[in-house]
Amino acid sequence: IMLSVVLYAGAAQYACLPMLSAGLPIGNIATNIAAINLRHVFYGMPLLQYLPKNKIAKTYCLFALTDETFSVMTSLPNESRQSLILPISLFNQSWWVLAGAIGVMIGSALSDLVPHLDFALVCLFAILAYEQFQSIKRYFPIGIAVIALMIASLFTSNWLLLVAITICMLLILARGFWLQRSVQGG
């Protein structure tokens, strides 16, 4: 429950538990968590102009920017984003903490009753990706993710996510440089 409050990032929380159990040094854990959450930097950029003006609220919204919050925020009309980013962030984290508490209480019993429940997380991300695509109608993010995954799977299976994210970042940067050069006429 405490991880849901202070480390509000699902993938990082899942990764943090075995590292804490193994007694890894805090520096190793922090480095791994930073690598896992690097994508949040890219989430923050398109939403910077919609952050609250209050410094505490702004800091919290940046802390609470998850995949789900980003997906919801980018699906909203631009004019309502600034007024909704704080309530949506608070709502999402509140439900995350509550669900974590319920999971602690009934998790082992539930996994016996509902096999393969872990697949629900994959479904959630698929639905969020679909909703975001319906909102912005851009093929580039989907294409870059598929290409990065295919390339990464050629080189590794143990570090697939990290390599795929790195390839995505490189492709995004390359596209940005290419677009900048074409705008400047070079």
Whether pTM exceeds 0.85: no
Cα 3 to Cα 11, 27, 30: the distances in Å are: 11, 17, 13
Of 3 and 146, more confident: 146
- Alpha-carbon Rg for the chain in angstroms: 18
Q: Report how far residue 98's alpha carbon sits from residue 88's, in angstroms, rounded to the nearest whole number.
A: 15
If pLDDT is split at 50, 70 and 90, which confidence band does 121 have?
A: low
Q: Report how far residue 10's alpha carbon sits from residue 8's, in angstroms, rounded to the nearest whole number.
A: 7
Q: Report how far residue 179's alpha carbon sits from residue 173's, in angstroms, rounded to the nearest whole number.
A: 10
> What is the enclosing helix (H) or strand (E) of 92?
helix 78-113
Angle, vertex CA 182, rays to CA 174 and CA 138, nearest 5: 60
Q: Report how far residue 76's alpha carbon sits from residue 88's, in angstroms, rounded to the nearest whole number.
A: 11
Angle, vertex CA 96, rays to CA 91 and CA 98, nearest 5: 95
Boundaries of every domain in the chain: 38-136, 138-186
Dig out the tokens for 97 from the structure: 């903490």
Q: What pLDDT, in 10s, does the model give residues 131-178?
A: 777 877 878 888 888 899 999 999 888 888 888 888 988 988 888 888
